[in-house]
Amino acid sequence: MLSKTHIYITPFKHSSSPQHNQTPLPTSSEAAMVKQHKTHFIFPETQSTVLPDPSQFFSSTLLSKPLPTNSFFQNFVLKNGDQPEYIHPYLIKSSGSSLSLSYPSRQVTSAVIYQVFNADLTISSKQGSTGKHLISSYSDLSVTLDIPSSNLSFLLVRGSPFLTVSVTQPTPLSITTIHAILSFSSNNTRTKYTFQFNNGQTWILYASSPISLSHTLSEITSDAFSGIVRIALLPDSDSKHEAVLDKFSSCYPVSGEAIFREPFCVEYKWEKKGSGDLLLLAHPLHVQLLSNADNDVTVLEDFKYGSIDGDVVGVVGNSWVLQTDPVFVTWQSTNGVKEESRDEVVSALSNDVDGLNSSSITETRSYFYGKLVARAARLALIAEELRYPDVIPKVIKFLKETIEPWLEGTFKGNGFLHDKKWGGIITQQGSNDGGGDFGFGIYNDHHYHLGYFLYGIAVLTKFDQAWGRKYKPEAYSLVQDFMNLDTKLNSNYTRLRCFDPYVLHSWAGGLTEFTDGRNQESTSEAVCAYYSAALMGLAYGDAHLVSLGSTLTALEILGTKMWWHVEEKGTLYEEEFTQENRIMGVLWSNKRDTGLWFAPAEWKECRLGIQLLPLVPISEAIFSNAEFVKQLVEWTLPALNRDGVGEGWKGFVYALEGIYDNESALQKIRNLTGFDGGNSLTNLLWWIHSRG
C-alpha cells in the first residue's frame, strides 16, 4: 500500500526541489507516457444495434482503426454529414458536393450565447458533381475533408485564419455567397483577389499559381485550375491586417498533433507545406499557457478574430509549447481534518459504513452505479485520513462485491462490452438503446461513468495490492477507453476520446448530431475522471499514468475556470450574460447555454452542484478562488427557497459556502435530511472540517 498522500510532478522547465512528502516524477517522452499493460484486455465483443455506420463518411483506409467519437468534426460523419462544425474562427458546413464557410455572427441574451451560421462562401466545382464528402485523414488539430467527385480536398486546420483547398485535378471552381459582391479586384499576377460584400465583410483569396476569376452579383467562377487556394476573412475589413495575411499566405498547415511529452505540458506541431512561417490563431487559454513556456513564437496581439471562446489572436511559429502550473494529486485533503472535529466525522463515518450493503443495491445503470462505488471509496480514504482503520475492511469488502462483477462480466442487468466498429467500451444497456445509460452506448459521457469506477478501483488497489494485480488488465482497459494516447500501441481504443487538445477541455457528447457541435455539462466529473486515473497510477506505481492523468486534470481545471466559471467582473462574455450568471449550464462548441440537460436555468443549485460533484480532494483546485466561490454561492442561495429543492443539491451549495463561512455551512449540513447518491454526510463533514 502506498503511504504517500501527495504527488508533485516537476514541470520540465523548472528545477525545483520536491516539497515535503511529495514525489518528483521524471520527465518522459510521449511513447513512455503511453506505457500500458501488455495484456490489452478487452471486454466481450458485441454488435450494437444503435451505433451509426462509420463507413459512410470515413475513407476505407481509416475503417480498420479505432475512430473518434467525441471530436471537433463529429457532425461531418453523422447522419447526412451536413450539420456545421466550429473550426476556429469559422463555422464550416459540408453539404452534397460543396463546402460552406461562415464567419458567424453572435447572438446574446442573458440565457444563451450562440453563433449564427450564414453561408458567406460556398465552394464547389463549377462543372457540377454529385456525391458526398469523405474524411481521408484527421489528427488532434485538423481534419481533411475530400469531395472526390469535385477534385477538392479541404485541409481544415483548427485556428487557421485561412480556409485551404487543394484542387487535385484541373477543375473550374464556383464560389457563391448569400451576399452581394460590391467590389472585386486582383493583383497583377492573378494570385491574389480581394472581394467585398454588402454585409461589410472583405475576403481575400490567394492561389499557388495564376487563376482566372470572374464574378456576377453573388458568384465567383474560375477557369480550370489545379493547385492550392487559400481564402481568409480580413479582420474588421481593416486594410492594416492585409499585410499579415499576405505575408503568411504561402505557408499552409496540412495537419497538426498535440504531443504530451512532458508533465503539465502540451506541444503543438504542424505538418506544413509552402514557404515562410506558419500563422495560426490562439484562444485566450492558449495565450495564457504560451506565456508560461519557452516558445519560439510571435504573438500578433492586434491581429484577431472573434470567437465563442473569446478573441483568437495571431501566433506565428511552427510549433507551440503550452505549459500549465502543476496540480497536486492527493488521496486526502490538503489541510487535514481539524483534530477537534474528528469525533463528529468519525461518528458519521461509522453510520455510513454500517449502511453499506451490496446485496441491497437495485441500481443497474452504469452512471449511478459508479457513483455508489465512488461514494464508498471516499469512506475508506476518509477513514485513513482520520486514522480510524476499524471501518476500512468493510468498505473494501463492499468495493470488491460491487466492482468485481462489472470487471468479470457477471453483473446482472448490465455490464461492459466492446464495440469494434468505432473502437471502445459500451454497456449492455447502451448496446441496444441509444438513450440507455445516458447514451453510453453511443459514446456519451464515457469519462464520467468510467471515472467513478476508476476512483473505486484506485482506492481498492491502494488498500489491496494483490486485488489490484489480479484486475489490472480490466482496470487499464477502462482507462484506455478514454485516455489512450497511441492507437498503434493499443488499437482497441481511439486517441483521447473525450479530451480535446485544442480547446483544452473535454467533450461529453458522443455520436449524436447536434447543430451546435459537441457539448459538456459537468466539468467537475470530467476533472474527476482524469484525477481518478492519476490516483490509479499512484496505486499501481505507474508514473506515466500519474503524469498523463495529472496533466489532463490540470488542463481541464483551467478550461473550467476559463469558460464555465463566470465571474462578476469577467469580460469573456457580454455584460448582459455575465450580469445574470455565475456558472455555465451546458457548454457547446458553438453555444453557451445556462440550461441543463436535466433542469432549467433557474435551478441554480443544480447548475452549481453539477459543476462540483463529486466532492473529492481535487475539488479544492477547481474552486480555489474564494472570491469567485462567494459570488457563486450568494448567486445560488436564493434558489434554495423554491419548493421541492433536493437535499442532495443543497449539500453541494453548503459545501462551497464552507470555503468562506465555515460555521454557517456546518450548521446547514448538520440539518440536511438527504444526500446525493455519490455523496454522504461523512464526505460533507470531512470537507467542512478540512477547510483551512
**Is position 521 annotated as part of the catalytic site?**
yes
Domain ranges of the chain: 74-242, 339-690
The radius of gyration computed from the CA coordinates of the chain, to the nearest angstrom, equals: 26
**Cα–Cα dist 244/278, whole Å:** 11
Distances (CA, A) of 567 to 325, 414, 624, 625: 21, 42, 13, 10
Task: Tell me what pLDDT residue 30 has.
Answer: 53
- Residues 6 or more apart whose CB falls under 8 angstroms from that of 437 comprise 365, 366, 367, 414, 427, 429, 430, 449
Task: Tell me what pLDDT residue 137 has.
Answer: 98
Task: Tell me what pLDDT residue 16 has.
Answer: 32
315 strand-pairing partners: 280, 299
Q: Among the listed ranges 1-10, 30-39, 272-281, 612-621, which one has the minimum average pLDDT value?
A: 1-10
**Cα–Cα dist 441/405, whole Å:** 19
How confident is the model over 136-140, as a mean pLDDT? 98
Fold observed for domain 74-242: Beta-galactosidase; Chain A, domain 5 (2.70.98)
Query: How are beta strands 192-197 and 85-87 bridged, if at all?
Result: unpaired
- Residues 6 or more apart whose CB falls under 8 angstroms from that of 512 comprise 78, 434, 439, 442, 444
Quickly state the pLDDT bin for 10 (edges 50, 70, 90). very low
360 strand-pairing partners: none
Sign of torsion, CA 671 677 681 687?
A: negative
Burial call 331-345: b when 16+ CB within 10 Å, e when fewer:
bbbeeebeeebbebb
**Is position 574 annotated as part of the catalytic site?**
no
Residue 33 has pLDDT above 80, yes or no: no
pLDDT single digits (tens) 234-243 = 999 999 999 9
**Cα–Cα dist 88/325, whole Å:** 26
DSSP per residue over 124-184, as a string? EETT------EEEEEETTEEEEEEGGGTEEEEEETT-SEEEEEEEEEE-EEEE-SS-EEEE
Residue that is written with C-alpha cell 455508489 in the block = 372
Residue 36 has pLDDT above 80, yes or no: no
> Which residue among the candidates 352, 419, 445, 481 is catalytic per the annotation?
445
Query: How are beta strands 45-46 and 416-419 bridged, if at all?
Result: parallel
Sign of torsion, CA 336 340 346 347?
A: negative
Residue 120 has pLDDT above 70, yes or no: yes
Helix/strand/coil (H/E/C) assignment for every residue in 471-502 = CHHHHHHHHHHHHCCCCCCCCCCCCCCCEECC
The mean of the pLDDT values for the chain is 94
> Which residue among the candidates 309, 344, 474, 525 is catalytic per the annotation?
525
Quickly state the pLDDT bin for 599 (edges 50, 70, 90). very high
DSSP 374: H
> Which residue among the candidates 309, 521, 542, 657 is catalytic per the annotation?
521
Phi, psi of 591 (to 5 degrees): -160, 155
How confident is the model over 307-319, as a mean pLDDT? 98
Task: Tell me what pLDDT residue 127 has.
Answer: 83
Length of the chain: 692
pLDDT single digits (tens) 37-52 = 455 899 999 999 999 9
The grid cell for 453 is 469506477
**Is position 384 annotated as part of the catalytic site?**
no
Check for a shared fold between 74-242 and 339-690.
no
How confident is the model over 471-483, as a mean pLDDT? 98
Strand order, beta sheet including 98-102: 85-87, 90-95, 98-102, 121-125, 173-176, 219-222, 213-215
Residue 85 has pLDDT above 50, yes or no: yes
Query: How are beta strands 134-139 and 142-147 bridged, if at all?
Result: antiparallel
Residue 602 has pLDDT above 70, yes or no: yes
How confident is the model over 250-254, as a mean pLDDT? 98
**Cα–Cα dist 546/28, whole Å:** 12
Residue 18 has pLDDT above 70, yes or no: no
Burial call 590-616: b when 16+ CB within 10 Å, e when fewer:
bbbbbbbeebebebbbbbbbbbbbbbb
What CATH number labels 339-690?
A: 1.50.10
Task: Tell me what pLDDT residue 39 has.
Answer: 58
The grid cell for 119 is 453561408
Residue 451 has pLDDT above 50, yes or no: yes
CA terminus-to-terminus distance, the chain: 28
593 strand-pairing partners: 112, 586
Q: Are 605 and 599 in contact (CB under 8 A)?
A: no
Residue that is written with C-alpha cell 485550375 in the block = 225
